[in-house]
Structures are given as C-alpha cells and as structure tokens.
Amino acid sequence: MSDLMTNQDPEQGQQTPLSEKIEENRDALKRYSVEEIIPMMENPKYTPEELEKSKRIFKSATPKYTLDWYVKWVASIFVLCAMSIRGVEGLQMFDLALSAVGISLWLWVSILWHDKALILLNGVGLMFLLRNLVSTVVGL
C-alpha cells in the first residue's frame, strides 16, 4: 500500500516534497479538518485518496470521539429508552421526561454542529414535548 502522505515516492524511490503531495490531494483533503489531517500526516495509515474512494474504510461526515459524539449517543439512548416505554400505562411522565432530555441533548449537538435543519427540528420537537410535559403535570 502506497502512502501518499509520506515523502517517499514508492515508484521512483525518491523524495517528493510534502507540499506537492498536499497539492495533488487537495480535493480529497477538503473533506477533512486540520485536526484530522495532522494525525494522518504524522501516522499515515490511509491516504486521503484511499479514504475518498474506499467503500471499506469507515468515514463519517460528523466528528467522532469528540464531546458532541458522546452527547449524541447519550441523547440517542435517552430517546430510545423513552420510545421503549411509550404506550405503557402510568409511565407517560417518564416517557415525556426521557424524550425531553434526549431531544435537549440532540439540540445541543445540533448547535455544536451549526446545523440549522437539526436545530429547527429538535427545537420544535422540544417545544412540543415541553408543552405536553407541562399539560401532563398540570393535569395530574
């Protein structure tokens, strides 16, 4: 496997300036942030070209192992827990509370991602959940 991020050209066996390699792979590198490119350059495993073309290498458009990644999964667990108890008699309050917490966390993730569609979706969802929660509490 050839490493385009290294200075060594495997075919010619001579040094190629790193700047040229970066220039050649400019389109592939656009997909990645500086935080992702630096480890790639320091410890090259896959080239940007390989990452771009490969269907086997898992690559996500959203960040991994960052704060928002953990918050996202915790939020998903809350939402799934809420859904699992939906429809059970006497647990409507827990359902609404868990959903509200999950959607609030998703709203936080959306803000961290600066994604307007997700912010709107989760914002509207949270408003409905809070309205239902308040009406349930007042109705008790």
Partner 1 sequence: MSTDMNDPYIPSKISTMAKELRLEKKRLQQDLIELQHDYDEVKPTTPTGTPDWYVKWVSMLLAVGGVFLMSANITFYGQIAYVLSSCGWVYVGMQWSDRAIMIGSAISGTAVLMNMVQNSGVGL
Contact residues toward partner 1 (CB under 8 A) are 58-63, 68, 72-73, 75-76, 79-80, 83, 86, 112-118, 120-121, 124-125, 128
Question: Minimum Å distance from CB 135 to partner 1?
Answer: 11
| In the complex, least distance from residue 132 CB atom to partner 1, rounded to whole angstroms | 9
Residue 2 carries which DSSP code? -
Q: Which is nearer to partner 1, 3 or 52 (CB)?
A: 52
CA dist list (Å): 87 to 32, 71, 91, 117 = 43, 26, 8, 29
Phi, psi of 9 (to 5 degrees): -90, 115
**Minimum distance, C-beta of residue 118 to partner 1, in the bound complex (Å):** 8
Element (H, E) at 43: none
Contact between 49 and 4 (Cβ < 8 Å): yes
Distance (Å, whole) CA 59 – CA 49: 13
Residue holding tokens 């385009």? 4
Contact of 63 with 114, CB cutoff 8 Å? no
Nearer to partner 1, 6 or 28 (CB): 28
CB of 5 or CB of 51, closer to partner 1: 51
Q: Which two tokens stand for residue 89?
A: 């008699």
* Paired tokens of 137: 């509490």
4 or 106: CB nearest partner 1: 106
**Minimum CB distance to partner 1, residue 47 (Å):** 19
Closest contact distance (angstroms) between CB of 9 and partner 1 is 31
Residue 21 or 106: the one with the smaller Cβ distance to partner 1 is 106
